[in-house]
Amino acid sequence: MNLRASFLFHRLFVYLLLVCGGVVFMIPFVWMLSTSLKGSAGLFDIPPKWIPEPVQWRNYVDAVLAFPFWNYTVNTLIITAANMAGTMISSSLVAYAFARLRWPGRGAWFVVMLATMMLPGQVTMIPMFILFKHLGWLNTFLPLTVPSFFGSAIYIFFLRQFFMTIPREFTEAAKIDGAPEFMIYWRIFLPLSGATMATIAIFTFMGTWNDFMGPLIYLNDPDKFTLALGLRSFQQAFGTRWNVMMACSIIVMLPSLILFFTCQRYFIEGITLTGIKG
Amino acid sequence: MEQAEIKVSPAKRSERRNRLARREALNGYAFFSPWLFGFLVFTAGPVLYSLYLSFTSYDTLSSPKWIGIMNYKVLLTQDATFWKSLYNTLYYVVFSVPLGLIIGVLLAMLMNQKVPGIRFFRTVFYLPSVVSGVAVALLWMWLLDPSFGLINTTLAKFGIQGPGWLTDVDWSKPSLILMSLWGVGGSMIIYLAGLQGIPRDLYEASRVDGAGAVRQFWRITLPLLTPTIFYNLIMGLLGGFQVFLQSFVMTNGGPVDSTLFYALYLYNKAFKSSQMGYASAMAWILLVLTLICTLIVLRTSKKWVYYEGAENK
């Protein structure tokens, strides 16, 4: 009886913490949603009302019309898609070299690659800007997309860890038949890495979609802006129209949220694998 | 297959093996080459060029002019704003990293409770770290608005007059630290995975020995979590030193340079006032600082990070 009481008490305590903490973590989202549906007068009610009255759906229309939203969405999509393709192709090729092929210098290069992850982006930022300037690439999407085609250290590491778990027996038959390595990579390794690739695709999407520094440095023609930059200039133009700004922020966040809810499994897997083994 | 190989003479066999090894090495280089190219062009080359630029005066219009250690000298001895930005960044790192670590571990322990519905709560706590960037910065500007923001209007209900947050010199940095803690879910998930990797029988054995929950935490949970803490600490330090977007979008470094972080000052020098050489010197100082920090953590890690199987050393 005593044991049962302490069990119940423990549960109650856990739920109390979970609910209180959960409310604190969720409130900013609820507040954002509530603000995005308020009229401009309701914004400055004290104390603020949680349920807008009347509900002003028009804010979302205003948000999309207030700046070249579709143009920026297309720009962001192009850059994001190119980064996803580039990262997946190049990182898997390099990971194959580290996981399955023996070549002189492999170990040393692996250490060098891991070390590059520690390098602050600020160190390479200025020379890269100068390089792209000389190539005439400023104000194009090239500086934001081309580098992704040369592999990303963290994903190479992640894929290598996965590739090493693929048993040698899987490829023995193909090796005996004299299949070229590329065929083994293409026909055996890639089809087996669906889940890992999905994780990498998702993380690349999130990173590129929300990237701010890159577009800020390389794009200055407003026609070329991404959503992140557009949102920023939107804020500069309409600093106090919080309802429209929150509507706009929600629209920009939405793809990440949808992606998370549809692909939760890959998220958790990706974080724990890159985290724990990293 | 094996029988066939026995019949071949040893010399021929080693020759064949050499040929195969050579072919494999060639393949290795071929598969590796994309990264090598990217490394040379986008990492190694820029790092060296940045070192060179740091000894020059360069405004991108005329070619770089060699001025020796002038940039470093000015930065370290004459530029008060440089020291201010370094102080702001260290302030941010010193508070946001340990707080994120402690709250991350505590939340992970909460998420590790075996109660119905826990998966729902894991999603709830993780969700804020899914979103990032400008949208989150705008959301927090509105939450922290001194007169109409949710935080101060809530405080007012309890009769507390909230500070000006982002507009107050004393509160601007704490505001950004608070905001960073909202995204603690990412490291929470990593700690949770670490917790789930701790064998359950350790707890059972210690319970038989009469250890209470507190003792279990200090003697089992925390030691076995140290590798995960170590990883998050390094990543947190690296990220903290590079904090940029929040101050750029939300405060533009103000008020009175109180949120002028190192990365923002560097950006301003490079792209606003076109002092590329000066900014490169700043980048190299940042590189050295992060290296020193990482090395300190690595060096001390032997004392506090527990590696399985190494306990008898």
Residue A240 is predicted with a pLDDT of: 80
Q: Is the pLDDT of residue B126 over 50?
A: yes
Domain locations in chain A as residue ranges: 2-60, 67-237
Q: What confidence tier does A273 reach under pLDDT thresholds 50, 70, 90?
A: low
Site from A23, A25, A59, A266 to mutate, B interface, most B CB atoms within 10 angstroms: A25
Say whether A113 and B197 touch across the interface (CB within 8 A). Answer: no
Give the residue with greater pLDDT, A157 vs B6: A157
Contact B46 A127 (CB under 8 A): yes
Give the C-alpha separation, B192 to B184, whole Å.
12
Of A147, A213, A257, the CB nearest to B130: A257
DSSP conformational letter for B243: -
Of B27, B39, B123, the CB nearest to A101: B27
- What number is the average pLDDT over the span B116-120? 90
Mean pLDDT of chain B: 90
**Minimum mean pLDDT among A1-5, A179-183, B119-123, B199-203: which range?**
A1-5
**pLDDT at residue B308, as a whole number:** 63
The total of other beta-carbon atoms located within 10 Å of residue A139's CB is: 15
The percentage of chain A sitting over the pLDDT mark of 90, rounded to a whole number, equals 66
Q: What is the pLDDT of residue A276?
A: 39
Mutation target to probe the A interface, by most A beta carbons within 10 A, among B1, B29, B43, B252 is B43
Radius of gyration of chain A (CA): 24
**Helix or strand holding residue B57 (H, E):** strand B56-57
Which residues touch B101 (CB under 8 Å, ≥6 apart)?
B187, B229, B232, B233, B236
Instruction: State the average pLDDT for chain A.
Output: 90
**Position A278 pLDDT exceeds 50:** no
Closest CB to A122: pick one of B126, B197, B283: B283
For residue B49, pLDDT over 70 is answered with yes
Residue B254 is predicted with a pLDDT of 82
pLDDT digits (tens, 9 = 90+) for B153-174: 999 989 899 999 999 999 999 9
Rounded Cα gap, residues A220 and A224, in angstroms: 7
How many other β-carbons are positioned within 10 Å of the β-carbon of residue B167? 15
pLDDT digits (tens, 9 = 90+) for A195-223: 889 989 999 999 999 999 999 999 999 99
Q: With 90 as the cut, is the pLDDT of residue A257 above it?
A: yes
Of A127-136, A170-179, A242-251, B141-150, the range with the lowest mean pLDDT is A170-179
* pLDDT at residue number A277: 31
Which pLDDT does position A142 carry in this prediction?
97
- A130 contacts in B (CB within 8 Å)? 49, 60, 276
State the nearest Cα–Cα gap between A252 and chain B, in angstroms.
Answer: 7
- Inter-residue contact B189 to A271 (CB < 8 Å): yes
The closest alpha carbon to B166, from A136, A239, A245, belongs to A239
Q: Which of B33, B60, B109, B131 to mutate to test the interface with A (most CBs of A within 10 A)?
A: B131
Q: Chain A partners of B139 at a C-beta cutoff of 8 Å?
A: 28, 31-32, 246, 249
Superfamily per CATH, domain A67-237: MetI-like (1.10.3720.10)
- In this structure, the strands spanning B65-66 and B56-57 are antiparallel
* Nearest CA-CA distance, residue B81 and chain A, Å: 18
Chain A residues whose CB is inside 8 A of the B140 CB are 28
Predicted confidence at residue B7, as pLDDT, reads: 59
Residue of B nearest to A21 (CA): B125
Q: Which residues of B touch A248 (CB under 8 A)?
A: 135
Higher-pLDDT residue of A48, B145: B145
Q: Which residue has the higher pLDDT, B21 or A80?
A: A80
Which of the residue ranges A253-267, B22-36, B91-105, B175-189 would you say has the lowest mean pLDDT?
Answer: A253-267
Residue with the larger pLDDT of the pair B310 and A85: A85
* Alpha carbon distances (Å) from B78 to A150, B70, B73, B74, B84: 41, 11, 8, 5, 12
Q: Where is B65: in which H helix or E strand?
A: strand B65-66
The pLDDT tens digits of the residues spanning A84-139 come to 999 999 999 999 999 999 999 999 999 999 999 989 999 999 999 999 999 999 99
* Tens digit of each residue's pLDDT (9 = 90 or more) over A8-24: 888 899 999 999 999 99
Place of tokens 């040379």: B40
Size of the A and B interface in Cβ pairs below 8 Å:
258
Taking alpha carbons only, the member of B242, B60, B36 closest to residue A132 is B60
Q: B213 versus B135: which is more confidently predicted? A: B135
Q: At residue B55, does pLDDT exceed 90?
A: yes
Q: Do B39 and A256 touch (CB under 8 A)?
A: no
pLDDT category at B313 given cuts 50, 70, 90 is very low
Interchain contact, A122 vs B266, CB within 8 Å = yes
Cα torsion at B202, B203, B206, B208 (round to 10°)? Answer: -110
Which residues in chain A have their CB less than 8 angstroms from residue B245's CB?
212-213
